[in-house]
Structure 1
Amino acid sequence: MKNSYTRKLVVACVATLAFISLQNNTVEAVTENQVVKEKNLLELGQQYGLTIDDNKDLNRHDDGIYIEEMLQNPDKMQAVVIQPSNPKIEVTVKEPEDPAVSISSQEKDLFARLVEAEAKGEPKEGKVAVATVVLNRVDSPHFPNTVTGVIKEVVGNTYAFSPVQNGEINKPASEEAKLAVEEALTRKDRLNDSIYFYNPEIATDNWIRTREVVKTIGDHVFAK
């Protein structure tokens, strides 16, 4: 019979010991690792031609084999794989949030084009805020009760939003503007019910400056 020193010269096969069931009575915790006890080593030996002493000697453990370490079998040119008896794998999948406000794809496109025209060059937070003002107006009894109605509202002899008046709204929306609309539709932040926004550097309406300021984002002031 070949002695253990001769065996060690033969190419060792490697197997991964993983996912040993916590319910298995032959598993115990050693610091932060788990080990396969001698009962398991005996079963492995019977299956793969190794004695308990061979396993201890070859794998340098007195009481067992640590999980995720290599089990060497010098006489078998094959991998020794121990399957878990009851593996528990938990996978957390984050579900996409459903919008609090549901609108048609056509209306959503119009909405995104307005946001793009009004907040082009602004950070995404600013784009979300502009979209939030539109939705706050929909909720307000002082404005039309649909997104399209708010966007196309006429005040006096002109449209409420200048991009509708000058045709900028007809240009396609950027991906960021579309994402801003989607985020605003979840209604997580209502921006303290702001229903106005303006650029103080170019605004000519003195009345708008009398409104209570809620927040400033980029070049826009948001008010109620």
Structure 2
Amino acid sequence: MKKLFFLLAFLTTLFVAAPTFAHTVEKGDTMSEIARKNGLSLNQLAKANPHVKNIDLIYVGQQINTTINKTINTSDKPSVKTLSHKTNNTTQVSRGNERSEKISLSEAEIDLLARIVRAEAQTESFEGKVAVASVVLNRVDSPKFPDTVREVIYQRNQFQPVANGQINKPADEESRKAVFAALSDMRAIAKDALFFYNPDIAQSRWLDSRETTVQIGQHVFKK
């Protein structure tokens, strides 16, 4: 019995349960800093949060799980895939009641999407830029709009930067990062919005009557 007791005591020391809670991301937070404050390695934190597709892209208000079972000998690698800044990036979409399918964005489409983000949201926060990119992706996902990023952006009378030529200016780095964030779970920041506008300067008021999903900075997002 004494040997059994010591064996159980030894096995118990191999597993230490971390406190059960989640961290709510605040401005300036990084996954590395959250891991450090909770006594975890970045790999351990990444593995505990498979919903974070890119550990370099987290947003204010996001829930980060800091509860894991740690062992003395751990060499676990994060079970997440970092979004690559290359062609053929994919995001999961569904169209109406049809089954979910993957679509791919070429480098040209990513660049075009980043250019419309820069033109529409240059003075907005990073979250505001992500939300603008998400609206375009939501339209691609919707049966009410065209099926490609290019067709959505160049649809007649939809985006002012197309009419005034701002779409032709190169995208900045933050706008590109916002596109890749929108291709992750952060796309939900726009809350399924299909439209956005600045009510303070909008000449047409037809969006006023549509359901508001969220307001980020100067932009109001609508269904």
Range of TM-score over shorter length: 0.5 to 0.7
Contiguous gaps of at least 5 residues in structure 2? 1-9, 14-71, 84-89, 92-102
d(CA) in 2 for partners of 1:149, 1:180: 20
- Give CA deviations for 1:113-134 in whole Å, capped at 9, x if unaligned: 0000000010000000000100
Q: Secondary structure at the match of 2:104?
A: coil
Question: Is the Cα contact below 8 Å between 1:111 and 1:181 reproduced in 2?
Answer: yes
Question: Is the Cα contact below 8 Å between 2:130 and 2:187 reproduced in 1?
Answer: no
Residue of structure 2 in register with 1:204 after alignment:
203
Q: Of 116, 119, 128, which aligns to 1:117?
A: 119
Q: Secondary structure at the match of 1:102?
A: strand
User: How far apart are 1:94 and its partner, in Å?
Assistant: 5.8
**Paired residue type of 1:137:** R
Residue of structure 1 in register with 2:217 after alignment:
218
Residue of structure 2 in register with 1:135 after alignment:
137
d(CA) in 1 for partners of 2:216, 2:187: 14
- Give CA deviations for 1:94-148 in whole Å, capped at 9, x if unaligned: 6434541520001110110000000001000000000010011111111111100
Q: Of 164, 167, 172, which aligns to 1:166?
A: 164
TM-score normalised by the chain length of structure 1: 0.56
User: How far apart are 1:188 and its partner, in Å?
Assistant: 4.2
What are the equivalent positions in structure 2 for 1:1-224 lying under 5 Å apart? 88=73, 90-93=75-78, 95-98=80-83, 99-100=90-91, 101-154=103-156, 159-190=157-188, 191-224=190-223
TM-score normalised by the chain length of structure 2: 0.56
Question: Is the Cα contact below 8 Å between 2:191 and 2:214 reproduced in 1?
Answer: no
Contiguous gaps of at least 5 residues in structure 1? 1-28, 33-86
Q: Percent identity?
A: 49
Greater C-alpha Rg: 1
d(CA) in 1 for partners of 2:140, 2:158: 14
d(CA) in 2 for partners of 1:106, 1:215: 29
d(CA) in 1 for partners of 2:73, 2:198: 56
Report how many aligned residue pairs link the two structures.
137
